[in-house]
Structure 1
Amino acid sequence: MSAQPTPSPVTTQDPKTEGEEREALNSSLRDAWRSLFRHRSAVIGGGIVLFFILLALIAPLLVPYGFNQVDADARLQAPSAAHWFGTDDLGRDIFTRIVYGARISLWVGFFAILGSIIVGSLLGLIAGYYGGWKDIIISRVFDTLLAFPSLLLGIAIVSMLGPSLENAMYAIAIINIPNFGRLMRSRVLSVKQEDFVLAARAVGMKDWRILLKHVMPNSWTPIMVQGTLGFATAVLEAAAFGFLGLGAQPPEPEWGKMLSDSRQFIQSAPWTMIFPGMAIMFTVLGFNLLGDGLRDILDPRMKQ
């Protein structure tokens, strides 16, 4: 008497495992979203970030002056009703230049970190999933980039490409690639050993589908947190390049360049340095608080 054929355990369990995985992911996202609004640091940081984003979006509606409008009769005026943050050595309204400078800093930070995330995550996926010689080559490239101090490496890149805001953005993206690449690689090394990935391999699913459907969705959490913190770093690095004259060029109202131009007036007109410095400080503080909040919410090890 012949035995009845039994279905493959891997084949029958895979759809169920995939459905449970998707439902667990959706549930965790909902819980994280609710927890975000209960986390004080995340709410404060998100509020600061949202404030600067809105400031950049509605800049033309807020200011009565042009960011490069020169008034020789109003040079180095203290804060007043006509000029809330005072004027610089050319008579330009500092409040106007800070508002428009928010556009530059957020634009540079967003695209620099976005480029770092895309390139770094792709290289990290390849290195972590395939291993072997690909992992060795990519990891050595990351180690080489990390061997140089980030600011010195950025200065070298901008010096070769030429001082400009766009080249500073490229430099910031390049020096942050290893951070996201190594983080993604370590996450992929853990995720690819999970049962749902092994089951997908057993049923013959192609590598690119495994990466898109299973590995990447379960590896994005630390990238999101690092991306938020990296945004703050990118704003600081953009200001540093501007301060050194390697980033935004005159007459662009970039915060770091504004600090550099006002160094000689630190005693006679301190407001020319105080307000751009405060703009940098609060922007970085907002992204750091938001990033810390996301880490506390999304990282199970940080939960009590």
Structure 2
Amino acid sequence: MNPTLQTNNGTLRIGYKGTSPWYEAWKRLRKQKSALIGLGMILFFILVGIFAPLIAPEPYDPANPVYNPTNGLQPPSEKHWLGTDDLGRDIFSRILHGARISLWVGFVSVAGSIVVGTALGLISGYYGKWADTLISRLFDIMLAFPSILLAIAIVAVLGPSLSNALLAIAIINVPTYGRLVRSRVLSVKEEEYITAARVIGMSNSRILFQHVLPNCMAPIIVQGTLGIATAIIEAAALSFLGLGAQAPQPEWGKMLSDARPYLTTAPWTMIFPGIAIMLTVLGFNMFGDGLRDALDPKMKQ
């Protein structure tokens, strides 16, 4: 609501630009250099993945790779900026195309975890009773296992592939978002405006989606941003163990696995994919930390 100022000639209205909480959060975010650097790194890798066929000096088709063992394990040069692997494939081209796979796994798996975890958290926190007990015990059981071991078990049952690795990563992260939403719902549903909504006869579904869920979005967004970094690492770990992406897919974790025998003779085959993973994860972590500070009400002045 715009404030008003009474004058002799009438009422003068004074408006403030961008009074919404999201605009205020964006203003706080813009003041954090580390968060903006992280956002820039994220956008850089997204653009790299989108335009990989145009950027790569030697176009590489993941579905139909061209092997040239006679050109294998070549050090970085003018022709091959980051060198070649044991099969003569250009590492720079593979890293560019690998950005598509790693980012796709990160975004899709986290999106799936958020959808399922948020739904279960809303039901558990709002309705309580037996639903809360059942869902909470399910989360406790899943959290009792180390996440990477649970992911390995799921992929071992379903079979090694990138899609199954994505599904496993989404499943193991559901409790994280479920418990986060549940704790937020338990706090929000005791607010006076929720009680007023019940008194006027508003249905539970309208209360959940119009009042409760919007108040849970800030922590979900922050956790989701940080979760993408974790998902990229988990996907790389599964591929490194041979349970994720399969040859000839240019996934960064798979590239590290294939380069293990050449760590001492051709270290560039492992160094550059490792740097790509590190920079991508660092970008999401820096941006996620900035979002957490920007969306925290305690940070408001």
Q: Same fold (TM over 0.5)?
A: yes
SS at match of 1:84: coil
The corresponding residue for 1:65 is 59
The corresponding residue for 1:31 is 24
Using the TM superposition, give the Cα deviation of residue 83 of structure 1 relative to its aligned residue in structure 2, in angstroms: 0.5
* Residue of 170, 181, 184 corresponding to 2:181: 184
Cα distance in 2, alignment partners of residues 281 and 87 from structure 1: 20
* Residue of 81, 98, 102 corresponding to 1:84: 81
SS at match of 2:214: coil
* Residue of 196, 199, 202 corresponding to 2:196: 199
* Residue of 216, 223, 226 corresponding to 2:223: 226
The corresponding residue for 1:19 is none
Relative to 1, partners in 2 of residues 1:296 and 1:177: Cα closer, same or farther, differing over 3 Å? same
Determine what percentage of the aligned residue pairs are the same residue.
63
The runs of 4+ residues in structure 1 deviating greater than 2 Å are 300-304
Contact 1:187–1:219 (8 Å) recurs in 2: yes
- In the alignment, structure 1 residue 271 sits paired with structure 2 residue 248: no
- In the alignment, structure 1 residue 158 sits paired with structure 2 residue 151: no
SS at match of 1:185: helix
The corresponding residue for 1:9 is none
Using the TM superposition, give the Cα deviation of residue 302 of structure 1 relative to its aligned residue in structure 2, in angstroms: 4.9
Using the TM superposition, give the Cα deviation of residue 195 of structure 1 relative to its aligned residue in structure 2, in angstroms: 1.4
The corresponding residue for 1:131 is 128
* Residue of 201, 209, 214 corresponding to 1:212: 209
Cα distance in 1, alignment partners of residues 53 and 141 from structure 2: 44
SS at match of 2:256: helix
- Which residue type is aligned with residue 53 of structure 1? I
The corresponding residue for 1:43 is 36
Relative to 1, partners in 2 of residues 1:196 and 1:26: Cα closer, same or farther, differing over 3 Å? farther
Cα distance in 2, alignment partners of residues 112 and 129 from structure 1: 25
CA RMSD of aligned residues (A): 1.4
Cα distance in 2, alignment partners of residues 39 and 218 from structure 1: 24
The corresponding residue for 2:259 is 262
Cα distance in 2, alignment partners of residues 26 and 178 from structure 1: 34
Cα distance in 1, alignment partners of residues 140 and 69 from structure 2: 52
Count of residue correspondences = 281
Using the TM superposition, give the Cα deviation of residue 65 of structure 1 relative to its aligned residue in structure 2, in angstroms: 2.7
Using the TM superposition, give the Cα deviation of residue 299 of structure 1 relative to its aligned residue in structure 2, in angstroms: 1.3
Using the TM superposition, give the Cα deviation of residue 303 of structure 1 relative to its aligned residue in structure 2, in angstroms: 5.6
Cα distance in 2, alignment partners of residues 65 and 210 from structure 1: 52
The corresponding residue for 1:56 is 49
Using the TM superposition, give the Cα deviation of residue 236 of structure 1 relative to its aligned residue in structure 2, in angstroms: 0.1
Using the TM superposition, give the Cα deviation of residue 26 of structure 1 relative to its aligned residue in structure 2, in angstroms: 6.2
Cα distance in 2, alignment partners of residues 94 and 65 from structure 1: 11
Cα distance in 1, alignment partners of residues 149 and 26 from structure 2: 39
| CA deviation vs aligned residue, 1:243-287 (integer Å, no higher than 9, x gap) | 000000000000001000001101110000000000000010000
Contact 1:65–1:93 (8 Å) recurs in 2: no
Cα distance in 2, alignment partners of residues 223 and 108 from structure 1: 18
Using the TM superposition, give the Cα deviation of residue 201 of structure 1 relative to its aligned residue in structure 2, in angstroms: 0.4
- Which residue type is aligned with residue 42 of structure 1? A
The corresponding residue for 1:170 is 167
* Residue of 88, 103, 107 corresponding to 1:106: 103
- What TM-score, normalized to structure 2? 0.91
- Which residue type is aligned with residue 59 of structure 2? Y
- Which residue type is aligned with residue 272 of structure 2? F
Query: Structure 1: where are the runs of 5+ without partners?
Result: 1-22
